[in-house]
Amino acid sequence: MHDSVTHTNNLVKESRVQFVEMYGAGILHNEKSPAILSIMQSPHIRYVNITKSASHAISIISAPKTMRVTKN
């Protein structure tokens, strides 16, 4: 990605969610929501176990790159 101030290229690193155990997630402001919600990002999700989520376990919206969701 080009930085318009410094005129250099910034390498954007996506987040990683690895080796995570979630239990009973999915409530935000007393509303149901996914345990993991990603909007316009492409995180690397690996070895994640989501149990008894109030809503969807993982929700990916408009990922700009191909997602790698493995070994979950």
Domain count, the chain: 1
Q: State the residue range of the domain holding 29.
A: 16-70
Q: Which helix (H) or strand (E) is 9 found in, with range?
A: none
Q: How confident is the model at residue 72 (pLDDT cuts 50, 70, 90)?
A: confident
Examine residue 3 and state whether it is found in any structural domain, yes or no.
no
- In tens, the pLDDT along 6-60 reads 666 666 678 889 999 999 999 989 999 999 999 998 888 999 999 999 999 999 9
Q: What per-residue confidence (pLDDT) applies to 6?
A: 67
Burial of 23 (0-12, 13-18, 19+ CB in 10 A): exposed
Q: Is 63 domain-assigned?
A: yes
Any bridge partners for residue 25, and if so which?
A: none
pLDDT of residue 2: 56
Query: How does DSSP classify residue 5?
Result: T
Question: Does residue 31 lie within any of the structural domains?
Answer: yes
Structural domain includes residue 37 = yes
Task: Give a yes or no: residue 10 inside a domain.
Answer: no
Residue 46 lies in a domain: yes
Report d(CA 22, CA 54) in Å as an integer. Answer: 11
Count of C-beta atoms within a 10 Å radius of residue 70:
10
Residue 1 lies in a domain: no
- 62 within domain boundaries: yes
